[in-house]
Structure 1
Amino acid sequence: MAEKQLLFVCGAPKSGTTWLQRVLDAHPQIQCSGEGHFIERFTVPLAQVMRDYAAHLGLVADRVYEGQPYYPPIEQEDLDRLVRSFVLSRLMTRSPGAEVRWIGDKTPRYTASLPALLRLFPHARFINIVRDPRDVALARMHQARRANLAERVAEGTPQRVQFIREGGQDWARSVAPIAAFVAEHPGTLHNLKYEDMIGDPTGEARKFFRFLGVRHDDALLERIANMTSFEAQSGRKPGEEHPTSFLRKGVAGDWIGRLEPEALQALDEACGDLMRAYGYI
């Protein structure tokens, strides 16, 4: 593990994080898995366990040992040490070979935990992907239908507009922390847009491979692009939609003419300023 560097991939849900992860994982010098959910599903619950444990030990120390316990208080570093050990052991389960320089995990909601991840792994690097929240809304509705929740996104219903509004709020919560983190920790995060990946997959891949300091020659980029294209992964041409596939359509701008005015208004109220700051007009 001492010879590997750590990478975490994030972005608002339904923004292309899985595609980005597969592109990274296709590189011979990178092993990027997903989704470990190391913070919200492991670290946060473990922190509560340790707080409860520390409170119990404090009670015992007071009632039994008159404030002179045998064990010192639990510190943040005690939790961090356990989390580091767990994360590193999970990342190594795929047994990366000697050629692999970067080992990492993609979990969309790491956007809310970037400072914590950097504290745990001070030399880690991050890649974040942003997508037009209007296309994200369509992708979220597609996933709702796949999950047998079609009634929540039925056209012409208040539930659909509320679903889209909540999605816009979630998008904003995911995207908002990025600028401040980049300003405070320059050089640690590479930011890209889904639409740019669609338009020039090899060009965008070259940028984030260069960010990681790994090979980015034309032949390798072309091979990775072919391996991870929408057509290669889905068996369909971009724009051909499948009602039950995780990979829906593989295009940008599909929201045009498909979102009603009430839905667009809800999105604007939820995340309009941030959407326009990223150039989504």
Structure 2
Amino acid sequence: MWKFKRPGDARPVFVIGSYRSATSALTWALGQHPNIFPIEETHFLYKLAVDLEYLYEIGAGQGPRSFLGSADYTRRHFRNHFGNACNALILGSRKRIVERSYAEALKNRQAHSPNIKLHRGWWQPKRRWIDGTPENSHYVLPLLRLFPHARFIHILRNPRSVATSLMHFSTMGAHDYTEKDAYETWSRLAYACALSEQALGATRIMRVLHEELVDAPQSTLARCLQFIGEKYRDDCLKPLKDKINSSRYDSAGDCSIAANIQSDAPWIRSAYELYKRLLEGRGAIDGNAAMARHELWHTTNEYSESLLPATNERLSKANNELERSTLELQCQLKRLSRPLTILDWGPQDIQAGASFNPQEDGSNAVWIKTLNAPWDTEVILDGVVLPTATHADGELVTANVPAFLTAAPRSLELVLRSQFYGEATASIYALILPSPIRDEEFPDPHSTPLVDEPSSDIASNIL
């Protein structure tokens, strides 16, 4: 039986919670511990952790005829290999990150605080690492599958404080959230963390209130270190002396539950209802841990299912069909409410073989006053599609006319057409007049005219 290396040395710590909840501050504080290396937000770990489930499905889909099947790799073996690789990748980067940080500090000493350091001495082993990516809140279960010995610390902050900070995000060079988006963002992240707490238990996830970190930092950090199996160190207090990634604003106002839970805004009510039940210890959903685990699994599985080729193909087809139906309705509405219409045209004194409305390039052109001419309007003269331009919000169309169409006196059918909207105007007729007889010419009065006079029927169709 093959033996596989277990990820026993991979014991990362993940700080989870909503944006603007001091996830960065807590990450850097715990990262001052001699055995914990603080890293910048990863963003790729949670994606990898979820995608591994899908990758295993397609890799083992042929059973013994696939590599994973023939090697007898189970899901757990597959995850362990990638967990070990990620752990080695991060721990192997410590020296590179420290050297780069030190070089940047030498260039700008004022931008670096002595309270926040990656490494405080050669003697510090830094065998573990801590990641404070807020998005990890949604992927606790996949990350735990990737790192079975990981621990999670959920920092919970009052929703109004978080929302106010997000609504003043531009003071940090980011985009301000709307009030609705700010509260809904808090709700999504806080709910995901609370559901994981309820499903996985206090041995894997602990909760820290933001107020505890502010009012009693030493005891709070001691409790966090005890939870992850490390001894308390005073150095962990140092980053809390600095403001880390803080938005600037005067005051968040009244953050009490009583003042907000009856708000007229449904997103504020919803956030404070969740906040209240979490403070009361009721969990994210009504029910026991088994029900919470089922909900957590279902939420994670929904994302995994969305990665399957069959799912993507089905959704793509449905989306294309919906787009086609929507486009057809839009075209139909346009044809009914804003039909393509000819109001006037010119010049109407075109003489056979003569120049008319000359352009800079030497060609001749016609203009047509219109209503609702789409961008793809075409002028069709005697069945010939002319080079056409639409101007002035669909109120004018111009087209170059080749010389052969007006070389002889006759009546030409003129139509405007839009292929995109599937519409065309009724036909009108342009009369090409005979060339005038010059005075020096003396035609034979007994000869037959080259061109008959236009009939009254034809003349009546000319605009």
State the TM-score, normalizing by the size of structure 1: 0.69
- In structure 1, which of residues 170, 173, 192 is the aligned counterpart of residue 188 of structure 2? 173
Q: Is the 8 A contact 2:15 2:134 kept in 1?
A: yes
Following superposition, the deviation at residue 41 of structure 1 comes to 4.2
Q: Which moved more, 1:14-23 or 1:195-204?
A: 195-204
- 1:142 alignment partner AA: H
| Contact in 2 for aligned 1:4/1:100 (Cα 8 Å) | no
> For structure 1, which segment, 175-184 or 23-32, has the greater mean C-alpha deviation from structure 2 after superposition?
175-184
1:44–1:224 CA distance, 2 compared to 1 (3 A) = closer
2:247 is the alignment partner of 1:248 = yes
Identity of aligned pairs, percent? 21
Measure, in 2, the Cα distance between the counterparts of 1:3 and 1:69: 33
2:270 and 2:31 map into 1 onto residues whose CA distance is: 34
Q: How far is 1:20 from its partner?
A: 0.4
**Residue 202 of structure 1 corresponds to which residue in structure 2?**
218
Give 1:212-251 correspondences, 5 Å limit: 212-216=228-232, 220-221=233-234, 223-225=235-237, 227-230=238-241, 232-233=242-243, 246-248=245-247
Q: 2:197: which partner in 1? A: 182
* 2:207 aligned counterpart, secondary structure: strand
Greater share of strand: 2
Of the two structures, which has the highest relative contact order with CA contacts closer than 8 Å and spacing of 6 or more?
A: 1
Cα distance per residue 1:77-96 (max 9 Å; x no partner) = 57524531442133212159
User: What SS does the corresponding residue of 1:27 show, helix, strand or coil?
Assistant: coil
Q: Which residue of 1 aligns with 2:134?
A: 108
Structure 2 spans left out of the alignment, 5+ residues = 1-6, 96-118, 281-463
Question: Secondary structure of the residue that 2:152 maps to in structure 1?
Answer: strand
- Separation in 2 of the partners of 1:170 and 1:273? 15
Q: Decide which of 140, 145, 149 is 1:123's aligned counterpart.
A: 149
By how many angstroms is 1:146 displaced?
Answer: 3.8
Maintained 8 Å contact 2:49/2:143: no
**Aligned with residue 209 of structure 2, among 188, 193, 203:** 193
Query: Once the two structures are superposed, what CA deviation does each residue of 1:12-44 show, in whole Å capped at 9, x if it has no partner?
Result: 111110000010011112223231123444444
Structure 1, unpaired ranges of 5+: 62-66, 154-162, 235-245
Q: Which residue of 2 aligns with 1:241?
A: none
Q: Secondary structure at the match of 1:181?
A: helix
Query: Do the aligned partners of residues 51 and 144 (structure 1) sit closer, same or farther apart at CA in structure 2, a change above 3 Å counting?
Result: farther
Using a 3 Å threshold, how does the CA distance of structure 1 residues 248 and 148 change in structure 2: closer, same or farther? closer
Secondary structure of the residue aligned to 2:13 is strand
Give secondary structure in 2 for the equivalent of 1:128: strand
Q: In 2, are the aligned partners of 1:129 and 1:192 still within 8 Å (CA)? A: yes
Counterpart AA for 1:273:
E
Report deviation, 1:268. Answer: 2.3
Are the aligned partners of 2:23 and 2:132 in contact in 1 as well (CA < 8 Å)? yes
Distance in 2 (alpha carbons) for counterparts of 1:31 and 1:250 = 32
What is the TM-score of this pair, normalised by structure 2? 0.44
- The CA deviation string for residues 152-173 of structure 1, in whole angstroms up to 9 with x for no partner, is x6xxxxxxxxx22222222222
Kindly indicate whether the alpha-carbon contact (under 8 Å) linking 1:25 and 1:32 is maintained by their aligned counterparts in 2.
yes
* Deviation for aligned residue 1:136: 0.7
Structure 2 counterparts to residues 87-166 of structure 1, below 5 A: 87-92=86-91, 93-94=93-94, 99-144=125-170, 146-147=172-173, 149=175, 163-166=178-181
Cα distance in 1 between the residues matched to 2:212 and 2:249: 13
Change over 3 Å in CA distance of 1:214–1:275 after alignment to 2: same
Distance of aligned partners of 1:42 and 1:142 in 2 relative to their CA distance in 1, 3 Å threshold:
farther
* Deviation of the 1:211 alpha carbon: 1.4
- Distance in 2 between the 1:119 and 1:168 partners? 30
Tell me, what secondary structure is at the counterpart of 2:230?
coil
8 Å contact from structure 1 (residues 137, 164) kept in 2: yes
Summarize deviations over 1:214-248 as a string: whole Å, max 9, x none: 222xxx43x432x2124x356xxxxxxxxxxx323
Q: 2: CA distance between counterparts of 1:148 and 1:118?
A: 31
Partners of 2:155 and 2:210 within 8 A in 1? yes
Q: State the one-letter code of the partner of 1:140.
A: L
Q: Is the 8 A contact 1:164 1:263 kept in 2?
A: no
* Greater displacement, 6-15 / 268-277: 268-277
Alpha-carbon distance in 1 for matches of 2:269, 2:40: 32
Partner residue, 2:43: 37
Distance in structure 2 (CA, Å) of the matches to 1:70 and 1:28: 44
